[in-house]
C-alpha cells in the first residue's frame, strides 16, 4: 500500500477509511474495512462512534487480521476541549474509548474554541450548549492548545499531531511558535473546492495533506444541505465519467486518484463491498496531464462543510 512519510518519519497510508457518519454496525464495518485491506482509520470524538470503532479494531486484532502497529489510527480534538488543561484528559478518554495506548495522529478538528462541556454531561458535545447556542470559550488561544497537543507527543499518547480545517494565515502563525510542527493538514477537497494555494503552502512547510469529502456533494446530500442538493453530482459529471470510461474505472476511483496522484491522502468510506475494494485500488492507474487539467477547471470554490452555513455563525473561512 502506498504511504506518505510524515515529517517525523512516520508512514501514513495514502488511502484510509473515514469514520464520519458510520453510525450503524460500526464495529462490523471497521472490522470489514480492515479485512478488506484498509490500514488507516480516520475518526474523531465528534463522530460519536469511537467506542464501537475500537471494538471493531480489537476484533480484527484478535482474529489475526491485523496487528495494532499495522493500523494507523487518527482521531481529533473537538472544539469544546481546547483549554490547555482539557487536552490531555480528553485524549486519554478517547484512547480509552478506542481501547488503545496511543493514536498515530491527533488533529485539532476546527480552529475555533468553544466553551467546555463536561463529557459526563454530554458527549460528544457538538457545536452548541444546553440552550442550543454556539458559545465561544473565553480563553483557549491556539498557542496554548498547541502546546498541550505537543504534550501528548511527549507523554507518548500520540505519535504525530496536526490540524484540520485551518487556513493559511493561521497556519503561518502556528508555525512561528510550534516546537513540534504539524505533520498533517486535513481539509475538504474535491473538484468543486480545490484550494491550490493552501495545498501549496502545506507542501512548502512539509505538512502532508489529507483530503476529506473527496466526492463533493455526495457526502452532504443525505444531510439535507441545500447547496449539496443543488450541485451537480460529481459521479455523473461528464468530465469525470468520460475519464472513468477511458481508464475502465469508476468515477469514484477517478476522483480519488486525482488527489493521490497529486500527493494527497484520501479517506473515503463505502457501505458497498465492491466500492470498498475499488476505492483501495486507486493507485493502480494514472491520469494524464490533460485529464488532471480538465478536472482543475471544475473548481467553484464551493465549500460544503462550512459552519457559517449550518450554524449561522463562526465565519472561520471568511
Output the CA angle 276-233-43, nearest 5 degrees. Answer: 45
Give residue 121's pLDDT. 93
Query: What domains are there in the chain, each with its CATH number?
Result: 3-311 (3.20.20.100)
φ, ψ for residue 287 (rounded to 5)? -80, 150
Q: Give the position of cell 439535507.
A: 224
pLDDT in tens, 111-170: 999 999 999 999 999 999 988 899 999 999 999 999 999 999 999 999 999 999 999 999
Rounded average pLDDT over 35-64: 98
pLDDT in tens, 232-269: 999 999 999 999 999 999 999 999 999 999 999 999 99
289 Cβ contact partners less than 8 Å away, ≥ 6 residues apart: none
Catalytic residues: 47
Average pLDDT, the chain: 97
pTM over 0.95: yes
DSSP helix/strand/coil, 71: coil
Give the whole-angstrom CA distance, residue 283 versus residue 285: 6
Give the whole-angstrom CA distance, residue 171 versus residue 121: 33
**Kind and range of the H or E run holding 5:** strand 3-5
Give residue 223's pLDDT. 85
The pLDDT of residue 226 is above 90: no
Amino acid at each position: 500500500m502506498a504511504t506518505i512519510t510524515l515529517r517525523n518519519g512516520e508512514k501514513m497510508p495514502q488511502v484510509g477509511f473515514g469514520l464520519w457518519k458510520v453510525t450503524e454496525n460500526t464495529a462490523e464495518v471497521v472490522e470489514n474495512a480492515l479485512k478488506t485491506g484498509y490500514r488507516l482509520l480516520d475518526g474523531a470524538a465528534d463522530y460519536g462512534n469511537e467506542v464501537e470503532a475500537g471494538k471493531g479494531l480489537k476484533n480484527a486484532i484478535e482474529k489475526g487480521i491485523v496487528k495494532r502497529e499495522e493500523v494507523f489510527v487518527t482521531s481529533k480534538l473537538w472544539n469544546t476541549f481546547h483549554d490547555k488543561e482539557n487536552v490531555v484528559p480528553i485524549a486519554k478518554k478517547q484512547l480509552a474509548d478506542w481501547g488503545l495506548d496511543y493514536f498515530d495522529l491527533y488533529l485539532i478538528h476546527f480552529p475555533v474554541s468553544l466553551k467546555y462541556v463536561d463529557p459526563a454531561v454530554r458527549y460528544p458535545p457538538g457545536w452548541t450548549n444546553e440552550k442550543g447556542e454556539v458559545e465561544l470559550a473565553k480563553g483557549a488561544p491556539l498557542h496554548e492548545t498547541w502546546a498541550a497537543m505537543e504534550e501528548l507527543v511527549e507523554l507518548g499518547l500520540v505519535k504525530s499531531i496536526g490540524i484540520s480545517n485551518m487556513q493559511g494565515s493561521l497556519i503561518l502563525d502556528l508555525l512561528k511558535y510550534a516546537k513540534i510542527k504539524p505533520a498533517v493538514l486535513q481539509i475538504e477537497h474535491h473538484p468543486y473546492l480545490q484550494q491550490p494555494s493552501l495545498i501549496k503552502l502545506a507542501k512548502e512547510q512539509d505538512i502532508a495533506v489529507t483530503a476529506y469529502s473527496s466526492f463533493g456533494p455526495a457526502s452532504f446530500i443525505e444531510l439535507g444541505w441545500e447547496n449539496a442538493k443543488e450541485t451537480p453530482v460529481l459521479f455523473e459529471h461528464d468530465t469525470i465519467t468520460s475519464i472513468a470510461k477511458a481508464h475502465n474505472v469508476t468515477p469514484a476511483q477517478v476522483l480519488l486518484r486525482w488527489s493521490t496522484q497529486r500527493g494527497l491522502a484520501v479517506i473515503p468510506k463505502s457501505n458497498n463491498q465492491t466500492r470498498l475494494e475499488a476505492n483501495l485500488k486507486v493507485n493502480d492507474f494514472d491520469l494524464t496531464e490533460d485529464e488532471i487539467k480538465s478536472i482543475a477547471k471544475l473548481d467553484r470554490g464551493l465549500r460544503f462543510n462550512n459552519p457559517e452555513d449550518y450554524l449561522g455563525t463562526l465565519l472561520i473561512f471568511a
